[in-house]
Amino acid sequence: MVQNHYTVFKHDKKARLGILRLERGSIRTPAFMPVGTGATVKAMKVEDIYALGADVILGNTYHLMLRPGTDTIKAHGGMHHFMQWKKPILTDSGGYQVFSLAKIRTIKEEGVYFQSHIDGSKHLLSPEKSMQVQHALNSDIQMVLDECITASTSRDNIAQSTELSLRWARRSKDAFYQDGKHLLFGIVQGGLEEDIRRYCTEALMDINFDGYAIGGLSVGEDQHDMLRIVDAVCTRVDSTKPRYLMGVGTPQDIILSVQLGVDMFDCVMPSRAGRHGLAFCKNGKVNLRNSVYKNDTRPLDETSDCPIANTYSRSYLHHLIKSKEILASMLLTQINLHYYQSLMSDIRQAIFRNEYDTFVKMTLQRLNANAAI
């Protein structure tokens, strides 16, 4: 029997307030994980990530096995020592990156044969290999290998792919190093087909994982379809285990998914947007590339408790972006990740007060009324 490390201590309808206890620290949920794909959250120092209040970050098997290589990280004792991050780390299995980045890939029963997007070298990523690499990375939460498919895949192919992902999930668990300190999450697939999603959820629960992720969303479907699938999975999955919506997303998506019972999120959006001049603020997004901010001496967001957002002027940030200064990426990434962590804190407080529905209504009204300019 898998030991349950997760405790839900408060409900506000479907929204949940919980804590996931791990050897390297506890994760307060609902939680947002900054993405540190290659053992770094781009443009951020580890000390600054700590200061944001993040409880966990995400790393990626595909990227790290290719560069710098498993042996290099293993020589440091794992990813934590390699990058000097002392709190929990979740590693994605690498399946999505093979799907999206590999130059050439061939999916077979044994795994995925692919060529590296870096140097064209040939590799096999199997469930066993993914578990081997994640064990060497010494991540606290590890993910099973699954097959990623496009949103336009036919129902028959979705069903076949889901069966393959389930077989890989069983092999992943068999290869997982179970010591009570590291957790393994299953991944629910099934496209936009609710019945296949429910079937996959139940099959994964029969295997019995420490948590359950919802994969294959945020790939071009509209928000209504995404939330429909999220609800279908959350109403069926084991309520005593954490639920992780992979690769999502916008503040609006996060707020509405929490309302359906999701506990964990990750997305490159806040850091990627920062590197492209887009800032997330309490009253919506601000596109600082826009020339309207050239002489705008107001702080970016004077209502924020982020020391960068409430100090640096829009004009200065606009200047840094236009000048292609590295500092622009650093400041805006920190502003955006601060916003996301503050959003999660506000979400947790609203659930604790039994005011989540009101929080959702008011926050969405404010965000939707202030589109980026």
* pLDDT beyond 70 at 122: yes
* Res 98: pLDDT: 83
Tens digit of each residue's pLDDT (9 = 90 or more) over 212-263 = 999 999 888 899 999 999 999 999 999 999 999 999 989 999 999 999 999 9
Helices 194-207 and 223-234: crossing angle in degrees, nearest 10, is 40
* Res 369: pLDDT: 80
* Res 218: pLDDT: 84
Residue 278 amino acid letter: L
Residues with a catalytic annotation lie at 92, 266
* pLDDT beyond 50 at 1: no
* pLDDT beyond 50 at 343: yes
What number is the average pLDDT over the span 170-182?
96
- Of the given ranges (53-57, 95-99, 286-290), which has the lowest mean pLDDT? 95-99
Tens digit of each residue's pLDDT (9 = 90 or more) over 20-55 = 999 999 999 999 999 999 999 999 999 999 999 999
* Res 138: pLDDT: 97
* Res 62: pLDDT: 94
- Of the given ranges (2-6, 110-114, 274-278, 293-297), which has the lowest mean pLDDT? 2-6
Tens digit of each residue's pLDDT (9 = 90 or more) over 6-21 = 999 999 999 999 999 9
**Residue of 311, 293, 289, 294 lying closest to 302 (CA atoms):** 311
What number is the average pLDDT over the span 165-177?
98
**Cβ(270)–Cβ(281) under 8 Å?**
no
Where does the pLDDT of residue 149 fall: very low under 50, low under 70, confident under 90, or very high at 90 and above?
confident
Tell me the C-alpha distance between 363 and 75, whole Å.
46
- 210 sits in the region (left: phi over 0; alpha: psi -120 to 50; else beta) called alpha
* pLDDT beyond 70 at 160: yes
**Cβ(61)–Cβ(98) under 8 Å?**
no
* Res 224: pLDDT: 97
* Res 364: pLDDT: 96
**Cβ(34)–Cβ(28) under 8 Å?**
no
Where does the pLDDT of residue 2 fall: very low under 50, low under 70, confident under 90, or very high at 90 and above?
very low
